[in-house]
A = this chain, B = another copy of it.
Amino acid sequence: MFVMAVNVVDVSRSPYASLRPVPLDSVEVVSGFWGRWVNEVARVAILHQYRMLEESDRLNRFRWVSGRTSVRPVNSLFAFDDSDVYKWVEACGFYLAKREDEEVKGLVEEVIDDIVAAQEDDGYLFTEHHGAPERRWKNLTFDHELYCAGHLIQGAIALHRSIGEEKLYGAAVKLADLIARTFNPDGIRGVCGHPEIEMALVELYRETGERRYLETAEFFINERGVDSLRPPAEDKLNSTLYRILGGAEYFIDHEPIREMSEIVGHAVRALYLNCGVTDLYMETGEKALLDAMERLWHNFVEKKMYITGAAGSRYVSEAFGEDYELPNERAYAETCASIASFMWNWRMLLATGEARFADVMELTLLNSILSGVSLDGTLYFYMNPLASNGGYGRSPWFPCACCPPNIARLLASLPGYFYSTSKNGIWINLYGSSKATARLDGVDVAVVQETDYPWRGEVKLTVEVEEPAAFSIYLRAPGWCDDPRVRLDGRAYSPRPSTYLELHKRWSSRSVVKASFPMRVKTIASHPHVRNNISQAAITRGPMVYCLEDVDNKVDPRLVAVERRGGFRERFRKELLGGVMTVSFSAATINPREWEGRLYGSLESMRLGRRVRVEAIPYHAWANRGDSVMSVWLPFIDYWREASQRRRR
């Protein structure tokens, strides 16, 4: 094994990063809630997806163009299908960082051979246009050439960092060099319809130290927003497609990045672009970039984010809607968009050291990201709606298969997000049983988390040092927690929610920090401008959002209404869904009988039926028992009475 420092985002030398990640190979997540996801599920997903890549002809695309197969890959439909392979390779890269897994290693090496064999002499690598130089870079709007290149570069970097892989890495560098030669002020002035290359090039700059990659990333960011992606009017079909999808806004090409104040367009595109912009900021320190990111973040979190952390309100264009446009059944909430938000918030956390970004990471991870994969790792969601009338289930793969390998690379890299360091100490970003080691001012420090998080809010943190040293432990007080409590050396702290509590002292040998983040069942409302949630409540407990699924209940979740007197009872059910904390309560039911055959009627037709006891499960675990009827938001029948009692007179 190498001496490694495997980071997803390696800002260890970035001048404008506030935090440095503790590399994922320095973190062990072996037990507890995350142990299963990071180890078992990630492996199952990687092996399952390998079979899918074969069956769906994704690998055969590469073999076909290089002549390694003579069977035309008819099951792969999209120009961007190469990227599914690259993301899977990236997942393998992170997965192999700490594990000797010959099966996975063998598979990824074969795949690398197939990929590299498809590279053209000058470095070009995009199977859709293989051997057709006249088609290169001609349809930047829709072709996804640079998008695929970005994923190739990220995949190659992951393997390079984790197992010192050189072959794919060399191919990626060669492609990046071609891109840098091609796109610049004296070359093609254009950008990719789907952002992604930006963050990949910044990362390649970090890996190689070659400034031209950073400059190319900056070029793409600067060229964006000048309407260069609009197809020529005479190209009627592409023009129609462009218009239907939402025009310049869909491509985040409607306005220069530094001027943006509203997050719009295709959610994954927008959030990947923000990753690249934040990465660029950490290298250049240009304030206008961070200011724009702050504006977009506030717009996102305060007006466009689902309570599960998900992003994207609109079908077809897979896009952000207007402020407060957050439909539940028709939430698009693509798994990739949640992952993209996680990736962006991670970069914002690294840039600023502010806990609010880690709060969004946690929320998104535990709810709208985990909902994207079945508990066993082999079935996926593309959309993650907040309510379902049934008929929507998980799939082992998709014709457009961006989400499954995105989940795999995230799970495989997850330990890399738990901890970070600054010059003053170690930061605990995410909670879960784990162990991290880091070197601070020449002293090796080990931090061990023991906790039943996210089911219980007690965290025991053991800090061990080789030799006494003064530094700080920064402990995130989660934003969802009203009364965080921390104890160290007999002293009690009550940090403000959504901040990092700094515990500074001279640590010697072994110290124990005890944190308590009481998890209470809450009923949450949304801003009154979210009209479809008016008079409804969502049930949360700690960082988890809950939902009612029909399989657990005798009544259709769409006919359940929460009452204040419902008496919430929490119970850990280890036999259910791999072990989950459920929340049960007594609920009112809506009697639908008066409504048969009618869509509209007198208010008097609304009547309540008998009370029932219902049981809610964590949202992320829904749809693991077949198609179901599900709802996160539930009518809250004391809503107006309580709001009236609080009337301002």
- For window 536-573 of A, CB contacts with B under 8 Å fall at 536-538, 558-559, 561
Chain A, residues 562-606, CB within 8 Å of chain B (1/0): the string is 000000000000000000000000001011100101111111111
**A81 → chain B closest CB, angstroms:** 13
Q: Which residues of B contact A606 (CB under 8 A)?
A: 525, 528, 639, 642-643, 646
A524 nearest CB neighbor, chain B only: B600
Q: Which residues of B contact A640 (CB under 8 A)?
A: 535, 561, 635, 637-641
- In the assembly, what is the distance between CA of A601 and CA of B524, in Å? 5
- In the assembly, what is the distance between CA of A314 and CA of B639, in Å? 30
Q: A600 near B525 (CB under 8 angstroms)?
A: yes
**A536 → chain B closest CB, angstroms:** 7
Q: Does A20 contact B (CB under 8 A)?
A: no
Q: Which residues of B contact A642 (CB under 8 A)?
A: 603-604, 606
Q: Which residues of B contact A317 (CB under 8 A)?
A: 316
- In the assembly, what is the distance between CA of A528 and CA of B609, in Å? 13
Q: Sort chain A's interface into a size bin.
A: 35 or more
Q: Does A302 contact B (CB under 8 A)?
A: yes
List 12 A-B pairs, Cβ < 8 Å. Answer: A240-B241, A307-B599, A316-B316, A322-B329, A527-B595, A528-B558, A531-B532, A531-B558, A561-B640, A604-B646, A608-B644, A609-B647
- In the assembly, what is the distance between CA of A389 and CA of B321, in Å? 12
Apart from A237-B241, A528-B606, 19 more pairs, CB < 8 Å: A240-B241, A302-B599, A307-B599, A324-B599, A327-B330, A389-B529, A525-B602, A525-B605, A528-B590, A531-B532, A535-B639, A590-B643, A606-B642, A606-B646, A608-B646, A608-B648, A609-B647, A609-B648, A635-B640
Q: Which residues of B contact A322 (CB under 8 A)?
A: 329, 389
Of B301, B532, B561, B609, which one neighbours A599 at CB under 8 angstroms?
B301
Q: Which residues of B contact A316 (CB under 8 A)?
A: 244, 315-317
Q: Does A615 contact B (CB under 8 A)?
A: no
Residues of A whose CB lies within 8 Å of any CB of B are: 237-238, 240-241, 244-245, 298, 301-303, 305, 307, 314-317, 321-325, 327-330, 387, 389, 522-532, 534-538, 558-559, 561, 588, 590-592, 595, 597-610, 631, 633, 635-644, 646-649
- In the assembly, what is the distance between CA of A432 and CA of B483, in Å? 66
- In the assembly, what is the distance between CA of A561 and CA of B535, in Å? 11
Q: B592 near A528 (CB under 8 angstroms)?
A: yes
Q: Which residues of B contact A244 (CB under 8 A)?
A: 241, 244-245, 316
**A236 → chain B closest CB, angstroms:** 8
- In the assembly, what is the distance between CA of A314 and CA of B317, in Å? 12
Q: Which residues of B contact A637 (CB under 8 A)?
A: 640, 643-644
The winner among A240, A317, A534, A607 for most chain B CB atoms within 10 A is A534
Q: Which residues of B contact A599 (CB under 8 A)?
A: 301-303, 305, 307, 324, 526-527, 530
Q: Which residues of B contact A531 (CB under 8 A)?
A: 328-329, 387, 532, 558, 631, 633
A305 nearest CB neighbor, chain B only: B599
Q: B644 near A588 (CB under 8 angstroms)?
A: yes
Q: A608 near B559 (CB under 8 angstroms)?
A: no
- In the assembly, what is the distance between CA of A315 and CA of B523, in Å? 32
A545 nearest CB neighbor, chain B only: B600
Q: Which residues of B contact A305 (CB under 8 A)?
A: 599
- In the assembly, what is the distance between CA of A560 and CA of B72, in Å? 61
Q: Which residues of B contact A649 (CB under 8 A)?
A: 610
- In the assembly, what is the distance between CA of A528 and CA of B590, in Å? 8
Given the contacts A237-B238, A328-B531, A640-B637, A537 and B598 also touching, CB distance less than 8 Å: no
**A322 → chain B closest CB, angstroms:** 6
- In the assembly, what is the distance between CA of A607 and CA of B528, in Å? 10
Of B328, B603, B608, B643, which one neighbours A537 at CB under 8 angstroms?
B603
A593 nearest CB neighbor, chain B only: B648
Q: B608 near A643 (CB under 8 angstroms)?
A: yes
Q: Which residues of B contact A301 (CB under 8 A)?
A: 599
A389 nearest CB neighbor, chain B only: B322
Q: B603 near A523 (CB under 8 angstroms)?
A: yes
